[in-house]
Amino acid sequence: MITAGELLHGSDADFVVNAYLAALGRWPEEGGFEHHLASIAGRPDLRLETLGRILRSEEGKLKALPLSLDATPVPPDQALAAQLRLRTEALRAEMAALRETAGTTSAAPALAGEVAALGADLAALRSEMRERLAALEALIAGRIPPAPSLSPAISVDYVNDLIEAAQAQLGHRLRAIEKKLLD
C-alpha cells in the first residue's frame, strides 16, 4: 500500500498521475489531468488537499482502493521506489486487459506481433525497474554506502523524466493497440 507521503514527491504532473493511480486505479483522463494539474501548479502545499478531493469523488468512493493518508515525509528514494511500483502495477494490469481483449477479437492475429513487441518492451521495463528498485531499497536499508557526490544530471527529477518518457511511449502504443482492437 502506498502512502500519501510517498505520492507527494516529484513534479506536479507526476503527482496527478500517481494520485489517480493510487486513488482510482487508473490513468487520468485528459480533462481531469489538466484540471488537477492547474489546481496545484507550483503549489505543492495543495497536493494533499487534491488527493483528498480525488478520494472523496464519486469514483473514489466506489473504488475505495487501499491508500494510507499518512503524509509523513519520506526520503525521495523511498518515494520514487513506491511510485515506480505503483506505475508498474498499473501497466501490468493494462497489459493483461489488452491481452485478454486481443484474444477475443478477430483482429487478434494481426495484432499478435504488436502485442508481443509491447510485452517485450514491458518485460525490459520491468527488469530495469526491478534493478532500480533493488538498488534504491538497498540504499534505503543502508547496505551500500552513499555515493561521494552525484552528478546534477542524475537526480530524482531526471529519473522521473526518463520514466515518464518510457511510460508515454508504452502508453501511446497501448492506446494504438486498443484503438485497433475497438475499430
Q: Are residues 86 and 131 in the same domain?
A: yes
Q: Are residues 92 and 138 in the same domain?
A: yes
Q: Which pLDDT tens digit goes with each residue over 127-155?
A: 888 888 888 787 777 765 555 565 555 66
Q: Which pLDDT tens digit goes with each residue over 9-30?
A: 999 999 999 999 999 999 999 9
Whose cell is 520514487? That residue is 80
Question: For residues 30 and 34, what is the distance between their CA atoms, to the nearest angstrom?
Answer: 6
Q: Are residues 83 and 134 in the same domain?
A: yes
Q: Are residues 58 and 85 in the same domain?
A: no
Where does the pLDDT of residue 163 fall: very low under 50, low under 70, confident under 90, or very high at 90 and above? confident
Q: How far is CA 111 from CA 49, 119, 168, in A?
A: 42, 12, 20
Global pTM value = 0.57
Residue where a domain stops, chosen among 74, 94, 121: 74
Q: Are residues 107 and 140 in the same domain?
A: yes
Counts for the chain of helices (H) and strands (E), in that order: 8, 0
Residue where a domain stops, chosen among 74, 98, 115: 74
Q: Are residues 63 and 129 in the same domain?
A: no
Range of the domain at 172: 75-183
The domain total for the chain is: 2
